[in-house]
Structure 1
Amino acid sequence: MSMAALVGPQVPFLRRFARALTGSQDLGDLAVTRLLERLAVEPGLIDRDLEPRVAVYRAFVRLWNAAPGQVVSRAEAAGSLADHRLRAMTPLPRQAFLLTAVEGFDEEDAAEILGQSPAALAELLVEAGREIGAQVATRVLVIEDEPIIAMELESLVESLGHTVIGNARTHAEALSLVRSEHPGLILADIRLADGSSGLDAVNEILRIAEMPVIFITAFPEYLLTGRRPEPAFLITKPFRGDMVRAVISQALFFDTRPRSGATLPV
C-alpha cells in the first residue's frame, strides 16, 4: 500500500484529534501538516505491521510528545467548555482520554498508540477520570437493586471525586431521591427490586429534569432496539471498573449543564 493510500483516509480524523489536543484548529492542522512533511522524508515512522489508523495516530503522538513545547496556552484560544477542561488536564491522561472517548479506540489500540502497556493505559484513564472529576465533581444517584453491585458502583464513583447521594432499589425510591437530593448524574439498572423498570423511572425523571444517565444492565437488548431514543451511555454487566470510570468521565466531560444537579417539583 502506498503512503498516500495508508495515511490519506486517516487525515480528517487525525485533524479532529489534533485540534482537540491543542485546543486550536490552526495549531492542530499545523501539527498534522508537520507529520505529513516528516513522513515524506521519513516513511519509516509508520509501522506497517499495525492497523493503518493505529499506525498513523502512533506516529503523530510520537512526534507530538517529542516536542512538548507545542502545548497551547489558555490565552491562545478561548474555545468551548470542553476545550478548557482538556487544557486543564496533564498531557498523557488527556491523550488517553481523547483516544478512547473521542476517537473511539479500544484500550489495546490506545495503549499501542501511546507506547504504553495495557496496565499503564488503564492507570492513565483512571487519572484522566480523577482530573475530570476535580473539574466537574457532581452528586450521583445509583439505581440498583443488588447491594453488592451498588456498593461497587459507589466505590468507583467516589474514586473519581464524586459524591453518591443514595442508592434507589425501586422506581419510587429513585424519584424520591432525585426530588430531595438533586443529583447531577444517574447510574441506572433497568430491572429493579419491586419488579419495576429503571428505564421507566429514568424516563419519568428526565421529563422534569435533565442530567446525564448511564445505564448499567445485564439486558442491553431491552435498550438497544434500533428505535429512538436510545441511551447515549450503556455498560453491560458484568462490568469492568475501568470501563465504568471511563464512561462516567465521558458523560460528565461533555455535559455543559451546571453541576448543581436537577431541580424538581416536590
Structure 2
Amino acid sequence: MSAGPAILVVEDEPLISMMLEDFLDALGYRLAGAVDDVSEALRHVEAGGFDAALLDVNLRDGETSWPIADALSQRGHPFVLATGGGNDAVPERHAGVPVLSKPYTLDGVREAFETLLSN
C-alpha cells in the first residue's frame, strides 16, 4: 500500500473503478474509498479522510456528480472531473477544475492529479 495522498473515487462502473484503483496505486496514491452514487459520496465528503477526489460527471440512474463537486468546493477539497464528452458541460462554478477525459489512461490520471495537487 502506498503512503501517498488519499483519493476518493466516484465512479459507477465497477471495472473502471477497479482500473482507477490500479492506476492510483501505480502512481503512488492511496484509495480513500470508491463509491458509485451521490449519497454515498456525500457521506465520504462529510467524513473527510482524503486529500482529493475524482468524480465521474455522469453516474447511473441519471445522477450527476454536481452535488458532490459543490460539497467538495465548499469544504476546500480539490477534485478532478472525469467526462466522456457529449453533454457533460461543466457548470461555470466549477470551470477551473481539471477535467480528465475518458477513456482513462495512466498518463491522463497522472497529469490530472499532478496538476491538481501541485496547486
Q: Percent identity?
A: 27
> How far apart are the structure 2 equivalents of 1:224 and 1:181?
24
**Alpha carbons of 1:143 and 1:229: their partners in 2 closer, same or farther (altered >3 Å)?**
closer
1:253 is the counterpart of 2:115:
no
Within 1, Cα distance between the matches of 2:50 and 2:89?
Answer: 23
Superposed displacement of residue 205, structure 1: 3.1
> Which structure carries more strand by proportion?
2
Task: Note if contact 2:79-2:98 (Cα within 8 Å) is conserved in structure 1.
Answer: yes
Residue 183 of structure 1 is matched in structure 2 by: 50
The answer (yes or no) to whether the contact 2:72–2:78 under 8 Å persists in 1 is: no
Q: Which residue of 2 aligns with 1:210?
A: 76
Name which one, 1 or 2, has greater alpha-carbon Rg: 1
Q: In 2, Cα distance between the equivalents of 1:138 and 1:189?
A: 19
Deviation at 1:204, TM superposition (A): 2.5
Secondary structure, aligned partner of 1:238: coil
Other-structure match for 1:57: none
Is contact 2:9–2:34 with CA below 8 Å preserved after alignment? yes
SS of equivalent to 2:62: coil
Judged with a 3 Å threshold, the aligned counterparts in structure 2 of structure 1 residues 204 and 178 are, in CA distance, closer, same or farther, namely closer
**Structure 2 alignment gaps of length 5 or more:** none
Q: Which has the higher helix share?
A: 1
Does the CA contact (< 8 Å) of 1:190 and 1:217 recur in 2?
yes
Greater RCO (Cα-Cα under 8 Å, separation 6 or more): 2
Specify the alignment match of 2:63 in structure 1.
Answer: 196
Are the structure 2 counterparts of residues 138 and 248 from structure 1 closer, same or farther at C-alpha, using a change threshold of 3 Å?
same
State the shift of 1:245 in Å. Answer: 1.0
Deviations 1:47-104 (A, max 9, x none): xxxxxxxxxxxxxxxxxxxxxxxxxxxxxxxxxxxxxxxxxxxxxxxxxxxxxxxxxx
Listed as ranges, the gaps of 5+ residues in structure 1 are 1-132, 255-266
1:90-133 CA distance string (max 9 Å, x none): xxxxxxxxxxxxxxxxxxxxxxxxxxxxxxxxxxxxxxxxxxx9
Work out whether residues 187 and 216 of structure 1, in 8 Å CA contact, stay in contact via their aligned partners in 2.
Answer: yes
What is the 5 A alignment of 1:52-67?
none
Aligned to 1:153: 20
Q: What is the distance in 2 between the residues matched to 1:173 and 1:163?
A: 19
**Over the residues paired in the alignment, what is the CA RMSD in angstroms?**
2.2
Q: 1:23-102 maps to which residues of 2 (within 5 A)?
A: none
